[in-house]
Amino acid sequence: MDGLGGLGGPDAPDAETSAFGFYGTWREYLPIALTNLLLIVVTLGIYRFWAKARERRYLWARTRFIDERLEWTGTGMELFVGGVLVILLFVIPYFVATQVGQAMMMRGETAIGLALFVLPLLAIFYLMGVARFRAIRYRLSRTNWRGIRGGSDDPGFRYGWSYMWKTVAGYAAFGLGVPWAMVSLWNQRWRAMSFGPMRFTCSADFSPLMKRYLLFYFSPFLAILAVVAFVFAAAFGLQVDGEFDPQNPPIGLMAAVGIAFLLFYLVLGFVWLAYYAKFFRIVVGEMTLGDLSFEFDAKTWDWIRLGLGDVALLVLTLGLGFVFLGYRHWKFFIAHMQAYGEVDVDGLTQSTTRRARHGEGLLDAFDMGAI
């Protein structure tokens, strides 16, 4: 049995090195990103499926787990087929349903018309959960480590229902059940996943999250109070100063109000990231795989820097820098992931889960992240 570091592979780490390592550089990735961008533009976006496959092949090949690199075995064609399936099986029927529903309502058949509007929305809600589950399943099944891959035997349809009712329940409790819903759903979907012969386990508890969540929950009210107080003070200051001349509006005051609004959303975003950072730390920290346990050590400030960096990249490149976001996010993820424990290479046999044939069409359609 080999422990971590004793496996003797090409990248064998010493005792201090983390179990995860990322060896990519932005200079090396730049040609890939730029050719991806070029081809995406000249194909009006169709190439993005192949671009994503190229990106993942590079990123996985530059990622080390213990002593061996990961490999991405997915193809652009798979993602493309997944996308086309979503259009045929979902987008077109959705479009038809809403048009017919509109016609029905115009004809006075309000009940049927309304149903034709509402049902697709409910279907989307359900499919969001299914999409997230299947995307994780797909990514695990296309990730090889030492020739072994992951996956799930569960097609994800039951998870879709859980996603619906838990999300509704979380929000129905005046929004206070959201941490419970998030953690419970994370546990549920990862417990259905496996790598090789071993199932993931996850038993995270949401209670440590409530403090930060309540901070986020109440921050809008506090912020609005602050804004109102500020506006009053400014108005009062104007009164004392003298007339308010409508021909010369107080630009300073208006600018200050504008900046206050921006800051409001920015600060709200930071408070949310504070909650989310802890959420991610907790859920990953409670996951195990066989004898391995995991840890994610990014702090709130790390997440904020990631977010601000993304915004700066997009703004400075007028949006074209989006091709680099995948690289940034993966690097962030690997840099902060840790694993502890032991791996039995003879016990790590090939996964027996079905290797699904299509990509993350649904996920792409709903534009969600998988993890």
Partner 1 sequence: MENGQLRAFWYDGVTARRHVGTAFWHGDDLRLEGDDGETMHVPLADLVFVERGVLDGSYSRKVDDGFRLVFTDPVPEALAARLPRGARFGKWIDGLGLPRAAALFAGISAALVALVLTAPNWLGPRIPPAWESRIGDAMVGDLQDVSCRTPSSDAALARLVKQLDPDNPPTNVSIANIDMVNAVALPGGQVLVFDGLIQESSDPDELAGVIGHEIGHVRERHVMQALLRQFGLSILLGGVNSDIGSTLFGLTATSYSREAEREADVFSRAQMERSNISPASTADFFAELAKQGEGGPGWASWIASHPMPQEREDAFRKAVVPGKAYRPSLSRADYAAIRDACAKDPDVEPFDIF
Tell me if residue 7 falls in helix, strand or coil.
coil
Tell me if residue 368 falls in helix, strand or coil.
coil
Q: For residues 130 and 135, give the distance between their C-alpha atoms in angstroms, rounded to a whole number.
A: 8
Pick 282 or 348: Cβ nearer partner 1: 348
Compute the least distance from the CB of residue 66 to partner 1, in Å.
10
Compute the least distance from the CB of residue 2 to partner 1, in Å.
9
Number of neighbours of residue 315 by Cβ within 10 angstroms: 10
Pick 52 or 132: Cβ nearer partner 1: 52
54 to each of 64, 72, 176, 321, how far by Cα in Å? Answer: 18, 9, 41, 16
Query: Partners of 293 in the beta sheet?
Result: 288, 340
For every residue of 63-132, which 3-state class applies, written as one string? EEECCEEEEECCCHHHHHHHHHHHHHHHHHHHHHHHHHHHHHHHCCCHHHHHHHHHHHHHHHHHHHHHHH
Pick 103 or 122: Cβ nearer partner 1: 103
Q: For residues 300 and 259, give the distance between their C-alpha atoms in angstroms, rounded to a whole number.
A: 23
Compute the least distance from the CB of residue 208 to partner 1, in Å.
35
Compute the least distance from the CB of residue 73 to partner 1, in Å.
6
Q: In 3D, which of 352, 340, 310, 349 has the Cα closest to residue 327?
A: 310
- H or E stretch at 98: helix 92-106
Compute the least distance from the CB of residue 16 to partner 1, in Å.
20
Q: Is-contact 18 63, C-beta < 8 A?
A: no
Number of neighbours of residue 80 by Cβ within 10 angstroms: 20
Pick 146 or 199: Cβ nearer partner 1: 146
Q: Is-contact 280 288, C-beta < 8 A?
A: no
Q: Rounded to 5 degrees, what angle do the CA atoms 212, 314, 75 make?
A: 90
Pick 16 or 346: Cβ nearer partner 1: 346
Binding site for partner 1 (CB under 8 A): 7-11, 23, 35, 38-39, 42-44, 47, 50, 54, 57-58, 61-62, 68-69, 71, 73, 76, 99, 103, 106, 144-149, 196, 343, 345-350, 355
Query: Partners of 2 in the beta sheet?
Result: 343
Pick 167 or 353: Cβ nearer partner 1: 353
Q: Tokens 């090949």, residue?
A: 61
Compute the least distance from the CB of residue 138 to partner 1, in Å.
15
Pick 68 or 310: Cβ nearer partner 1: 68
Compute the least distance from the CB of residue 54 to partner 1, in Å.
7
Pick 70 or 284: Cβ nearer partner 1: 70
Compute the least distance from the CB of residue 76 to partner 1, in Å.
6
